[in-house]
Amino acid sequence: MPRVLRIINRFNLGGPTYNAAYLTKYMSPEFETLLVGGMHDETEGSSKYILENLGIEPIIIPEMKREINFKQDRIAYKKIKVIIKEFKPDIVHTHASKAGALGRLAAHQLGVKAVIHTFHGHVFHSYFGKVKTLFYKQIERFLAKKSTKIIAISEIQKKELTIEHKICSVDKTCVIPLGFDLSKFKDNQLEKRETFRNEWKIEENEIAIGIIGRLVPIKDHHFFIDVIDEIKDKTSKNIRFFIIGDGEHKQEIISYVNEKKLPYSESRENSKLITFTSWIKEIDIANAGLDIICLCSKNEGTPVSLIEAQSSLKPIVSTRVGGINNVVLENETALLSNVGDYQAYVSNLTSLIESETLRESFSTAGNHIYEKYTYHRLVKEMKALYHSLI
């Protein structure tokens, strides 16, 4: 039986963990898989419960963290080399940047037959300045040469990697979209809606609008706060905004809310215009309780929150960036605007707030997501790729 060593940056909430977990669980009996990952940051929600629910026991490398730290990275690298020597994988498959760097270098040095890397996103724009961005591009170009295959998670991302940023060649790159168990987002929606709205004291006539994700600059929550500040005076509807997630920039975002003099709460007990909920594990319950789901990102790979939003049959307002166009149906499930186009975003969100008919029409189109983003399809396509390489 061929062996696969799967290495992921860290076990935080998000698409990479789900992707790695489903591939670890469901590639058997054709492939034996060992999952290795780093620790999640204190400001992030842990995804260990996802692995536990699937009966997966990963190897944790505490030194493998998001930020560059040469001392700890060297320790993590040596630990990965030990694991490779003991496990003797036919394939090393890395997910995301830190795991991709350490894992690919170790696998290449030890002569692993097939070295694969999945880009779940990239940092080639909107993260850093020109010099630092060029530095990361050069690293990824070097690592691509050590790779047997590069996986992009959308056609748009493949174009970015191969043509726009010239990280790797077209013939070395293939597209395999993420896959999830989406059934829970459609089941028992009325019951889940009642649960969420009772818990957060949302009145029946209130329109609940949520943004879901890490509280980090790339998600641009400051832009979202500006939108709230504008819309609160544009509509006569009763509206509530929910910021679902956590991160190292939470206090900075709260300070910005205070600058705008917008009422907010971090508690279920107070019904304010804006509510910070922190992480919610049962995101299917949250989605059921929301009426509109937003995203304001400056850069995205495949936005899991928008896949889950459509699985929950919820209308979307988002920026048009990265793989978003590959995920949503513009003007059918989502209204999109360019990054930084404040007035267009406000207009799009206002139109959905004002029209229940429009919200309902967008909701009914969300079923398309079930055809493209199931974990069954993900596993089938990955098996085919593995077999072709070994």
- Phi, psi for residue 295 in degrees, rounded to 5: -150, 140
- Checking 195-204 for CB contacts under 8 A at 24+ apart, the result is 195/285, 195/288, 195/289, 196/285, 196/286, 196/288, 196/289, 196/290, 197/289, 199/268, 200/242, 200/268, 200/271, 200/275, 200/277, 200/289, 201/268, 201/269, 201/271, 202/240, 202/271, 202/289, 203/238
Residue bearing the bigger pLDDT, 162 or 97: 162
What burial class does residue 193 get, using C-beta atoms within 10 Å of its C-beta: 0-12 exposed, 13-18 middle, 19+ buried? Answer: buried
Q: What is the pTM of this model?
A: 0.84
pLDDT average, residue stretch 65-75: 88
Fold of 183-372: Rossmann fold (3.40.50)
Q: Residue 57: in which H helix or E strand, if any?
A: none
- Checking 134-140 for CB contacts under 8 A at 24+ apart, the result is 137/165, 137/167, 139/101, 140/167, 140/168
Residue bearing the bigger pLDDT, 131 or 123: 131
pLDDT average, residue stretch 23-46: 84
Mean pLDDT of the chain: 91
Distance (Å, rounded) from C-alpha 387 to C-alpha 65?
31
Whole-number pLDDT of residue 344 = 97
Whole-number pLDDT of residue 66 = 77
Angle at 294 between CA 292 and CA 296, to 5 degrees: 165
pLDDT average, residue stretch 212-224: 94
235 contacts 350 by C-beta, under 8 angstroms: yes
Whole-number pLDDT of residue 281 = 87
Q: What is the pLDDT of residues 152-162, one digit of tens each?
A: 988 988 999 99
User: Domain-by-domain residue ranges, the chain?
Assistant: 3-180+374-389, 183-372
Whole-number pLDDT of residue 122 = 62
- Closest by CA to 342, choosing from 319, 365, 322, is 319
Percent of residues, the chain, with pLDDT higher than 70: 95
- Is residue 129 scored above 80 in pLDDT? no
Q: What is the pLDDT of residues 275-329, one digit of tens each?
A: 999 999 899 999 999 999 999 999 887 788 999 999 999 999 999 988 898 899 9
Percent of residues, the chain, with pLDDT higher than 90: 71
**The residue to which tokens 């709460």 are assigned:** 265
pLDDT average, residue stretch 154-173: 92
Distance (Å, rounded) from C-alpha 379 to C-alpha 389?
16
**The residue to which tokens 């994700």 are assigned:** 213
Residue type at 151 in one-letter notation: I
| Shared fold status for 3-180+374-389 and 183-372 | yes
Whole-number pLDDT of residue 13 = 61
For the beta sheet containing 59-61, the strands, ordered from the edge strand earlier in sequence to the opposite edge, are: 59-61, 32-38, 3-10, 91-95, 114-119, 149-152, 173-175
Neighbours of 130 (CB within 10 A): 7
- Is residue 149 scored above 90 in pLDDT? yes
Lowest mean pLDDT among 4-13, 69-78, 143-152: 4-13
pLDDT average, residue stretch 344-363: 95
Question: For domain 3-180+374-389, which CATH number applies: 3.40.50.2000, 3.30.70.360, 3.40.50.720, 3.30.390.30?
Answer: 3.40.50.2000
Q: Please name every residue paired with 116 in a beta bridge, in sequence order, or none if there are none.
A: 93, 149
Distance (Å, rounded) from C-alpha 373 to C-alpha 181?
8
Handedness of CA 313, 315, 320, 321 (dihedral sign): negative
- Is residue 126 scored above 60 in pLDDT? no
Whole-number pLDDT of residue 127 = 58
Whole-number pLDDT of residue 12 = 66
Confidence of residue 124 (pLDDT cuts 50, 70, 90): low
